[in-house]
Structure 1
């Protein structure tokens, strides 16, 4: 009797185990694949011994595809998986990670190609509408060009970009663009104020498209370093020659030495500058001993030469000089 009861219970136990297996099979809402194909186990959890079966091609790197419920049902039935969708909206998103080929990788190889065709080595490449192709995340990439053409007169070029990477077929894309001439430009490395004197660390030389450079822009470091700003300038902004001048060696309201030189005699006196001026420029100064204002020429740092017989500008200092210390 016991053996008969046990035999009668076996079908029920088998059905229970089958039902448990059915519950264990489930779809993956998001399937990330890193190869060229989609496998059964990419779509279904616990797909069993047939999980490595190839179902089809994976999407290109960086792209995705949808597998809807009817397709999933057909696949499960074909491979004997006990699975049914819980709703008509059930689906699997198959995504293949990717990365774009670096723009520098594309332009570096293209520059080498165009230099052989006569392009100026300082030209800047303009590639309108370039969308870098996607490749597998960890794949080694090789960039090449074929069928390249360059017109020196118009500076226009046309070529075919070829991208080769492991795990994907070679990609080809037609590229067209221009080689734009560039010129050297001196730009500020920091924000500078009116009156600042440019030091070697305040300026650097870059190249810019010639069409974007305004007239009078400084193009040599030696034309900028040591000069004094006549207006403020922002970081990375180009220096304009008209905004630069010789540094002031005499500063307004600062003490100066008056020098009077004539054949066989040289005299000095203490004075105070009434304006700022660079070497070689004329500046009004006040003799602190006589309180007379005369004009002289800046000859060095804090030194002003007064010509013999110079006529004072005013015998009595004006009201705005009343605050000048003696």
Structure 2
């Protein structure tokens, strides 16, 4: 056993290389990322994404350039509501349920908080985006 430690000491320090995920092409903001857009690179960068599966189907929040590391904040779920989209506003407190038409004043994904103008009253309200694209007003 002691001989093994001596051999390892003579070999010198062993450096472990981590892998990061980098784009293979320029990915513009608001573009959905696919498998063909990514490659794994042997490098260690603190805060860089290391799992390809975490990025597939996500939307770029900023421009991503080839060979540069992708950070967690650079991507997110794809937006389902764009600015100026017509949306349905929903206020649901049993037994009362109210729906109205509105215009999105921002862009967002499921669960994001967004401002919407009620088209009937021209009042601006804030709500959360549901998976069906409706805005739940609280």
Note the C-alpha offset of 1:224: 1.3
Flag the 1:200–1:264 CA change in 2: closer, same or farther, 3 A.
farther
2:13 matches 1:154: yes
Q: Counterpart of 2:73?
A: 242
Alignment of 1:84-103 (within 5 A): none
- Residue in 1 that maps onto 2:92: 261
Q: With structure 2 as the length reference, what TM-score do the two structures score? A: 0.80
Are 1:224 and 2:55 an aligned pair?
yes
Contact 2:22 2:41 in 1 (8 A): no
C-alpha separation in 2, matches of 1:201 and 1:182:
24
Report the structure, 1 or 2, having the larger helix content.
Answer: 1
TM-score relative to the length of structure 1 = 0.37
Quote the offset at 1:217 in angstroms: 0.5
Q: Alpha-carbon deviation of 1:301?
A: 4.6
* Alignment check: 8 A CA contact 1:216 1:242 kept: no
- Residue 3 of structure 2: aligned partner: none
Distance in 1 separating the partners of 2:12 and 2:80: 51
1:201 maps to 36
**Alpha-carbon deviations, 1:170-223, whole Å to 9, x = none?**
xxxxxxxxxx5321211112211112121233223x2413xxx32110000122
DSSP-derived class of the 1:266 partner: strand
Aligned CA-pair RMSD = 2.3
Say which SS state the counterpart of residue 260 (structure 1) adopts: strand
Paired residues of 2:116 and 2:127 also in contact (CA < 8 A): yes
1:270 to 1:200, Cα distance in 2 relative to 1, 3 A = farther
Distance 1:268 1:153 in 2: 70
Q: 1:268 to 1:187 in 2, by over 3 A?
A: same
CA distance 1:207–1:189, shift in 2 (3 Å)? closer
- Residue matched to 2:130: 299
1:170-181 equivalences under 5 Å are 180-181=15-16
Q: Alignment partner of 1:222: what SS? A: helix
Question: Matches of 1:236 and 1:272 in 2, distance apart?
Answer: 39
Instruction: Report which structure shows greater RCO (CA 8 Å, sep ≥6).
Output: 2
Alignment of 1:1-326 (within 5 A): 151-155=10-14, 180-204=15-39, 206-209=40-43, 213-307=44-138
Q: Does the 8 Å contact 2:90/2:99 carry over to 1?
A: yes
Q: Is the 8 A contact 2:20 2:45 kept in 1?
A: no
Segments of 5+ residues of structure 1 without an aligned counterpart are: 1-148, 156-179, 308-326
Unaligned runs of 5+ in 2: 1-6
- In the alignment, is the contact (CA less than 8 A) between 1:250 and 1:301 conserved in 2? no
